[in-house]
Amino acid sequence: MRIVEQAESLAPFHRCALVPTMGALHAGHASLIARAASGGRPVVVSLFVNPTQFAQGEDFSKYPRTLDADLEVCQAAGASAIFIPSVQIMYPRGLSAANAEASALQLPRVATQPKLEDARRPTHFAGVCQVVAKLFDMCQPAAAYFGEKDFQQLRVIQEMVRREGPRWKDLVVHACPTIRESDGLAMSSRNRYLQPNQRHNALALSRALTAAQAGARAGMDIAAAQDEMQQVLARHELVVEYAVIRSPDTLLPLDTFQFAWKLGARALIAARLHGVRLIDNADCGQA
Ligand code: AMP
């Protein structure tokens, strides 16, 4: 497995399968790498904690950095190369210029209209689009792998690639399912911030999603299914930012007529537990 720090050294890996990450890797990331490797192309994993997608007061400086363990995860899952660029390599004109450049980007509608992550983290998707576009330019991948765990991010990247057309040739974005702990908690680099006695309450997210899926199966009204989610979350000391059921394409609210579920639906939650921000989502369509 090669360790690459300069963009020029990526030339032998053009047309690779790319897995962009911020490190602190866990089994969710490993599943993306293994899925990418199964496509037969060399797999490049990028490890870069991107400053432009964190707002002031978010956890950029304390985001976990676990390079040695990350290299082992990449090797075991079948990566061919790890790209570990510095901030200087990614943003040679400096961070102020990079932030200004990010804020000038034209983002896809799914990054600005749903009022989900975009409302809670208003500068986040500009930074995500900026860094992912740079990684695509540098790696020129044939395929890129993203997790459904960050569902709005996945939709934003899919739309960005569609909109940019020939810029990345025929790049295919693959959506990979969320990997969970055995008790249902979605794996996340931020789970390590949870105290052992808080874990029980964190399980409310996956339970609320299960309640939404049960509501869909029972043909429940969408508003009533959203109420069920809220109730599960409220019983577990979670401060809810949103708990909604939306179109899986636009992430906008669904019509509330009886058969709306059949057109596809995604339940999405963000909630805080003693200062730790957790997100999760699940398909609850009846297509
Ligand atoms: P991150 O390092 O958090 O930026 O995540 C890198 C990639 O891994 C993103 O595409 C995430 O959606 C994906 N990912 C994170 N957690 C999981 C998980 N539990 N299951 C599947 N994919 C995940």
In this structure, the number of other CB atoms found within 10 A of the CB of residue 229 comes to: 26
**Which atom of ligand 1 is found nearest the CA of 187?**
19
Answer yes or no: is the C-beta of 22 below 6 A from any ligand 1 atom. yes
- Provide the pLDDT for residue 270: 98
- Provide the pLDDT for residue 259: 65
Answer yes or no: is the C-beta of 206 below 6 A from any ligand 1 atom. no
- Provide the pLDDT for residue 3: 98
Considering the entire predicted model, what is its pTM? 0.97
Instruction: Give the angle subtended at the CA of 41 by the CAs of 155 and 160, to the nearest 5°.
Output: 20
The rounded distance, in Å, linking the Cα atoms of 110 and 117 is 10
- Provide the pLDDT for residue 258: 59
3-state secondary structure of 107: coil
In this structure, the number of other CB atoms found within 10 A of the CB of residue 59 comes to: 15
Assign a CATH topology to domain 189-283.
Pantoate--beta-alanine Ligase; Chain: A,domain 2 (3.30.1300)
Report CA(146)–ligand 1 centroid distance (Å).
Answer: 7
Write out residues in the chain with pLDDT < 50, as ranges: none
Which of 19, 29, 125 has most ligand 1 atoms within 8 Å of its beta carbon, as the pocket-test mutant?
29
pLDDT tens-digit readout, 35-61: 999 999 999 999 999 999 999 999 899
Answer yes or no: is the C-beta of 21 below 6 A from any ligand 1 atom. yes
Cα–Cα separations (whole angstroms), residue 69 to 24, 185, 195, 246: 8, 22, 22, 37
Cα-flanking dihedrals φ and ψ of residue 168, to 5°? -115, 35
- Provide the pLDDT for residue 261: 83
The class that CATH gives domain 2-176 is: alpha beta
Report CA(155)–ligand 1 centroid distance (Å).
Answer: 14
Answer yes or no: is the C-beta of 54 below 6 A from any ligand 1 atom. no
In sign, the C-alpha dihedral spanning 141, 187, 47, 272 is positive
Q: Whose CA is nearest to atom 13 of ligand 1?
A: 147
Answer yes or no: is the C-beta of 13 below 6 A from any ligand 1 atom. no
Report CA(20)–ligand 1 centroid distance (Å).
Answer: 9
Residue environment code for 197-225, b if the CB has 16+ CB neighbours within 10 A, otherwise e? eeeebbebbbebbbbbbebbeeebebeeb
Domain boundaries, the chain: 2-176, 189-283
Report CA(280)–ligand 1 centroid distance (Å).
Answer: 11
Going by their DSSP bridges, the two strands 266-273 and 239-246 should be labelled as antiparallel
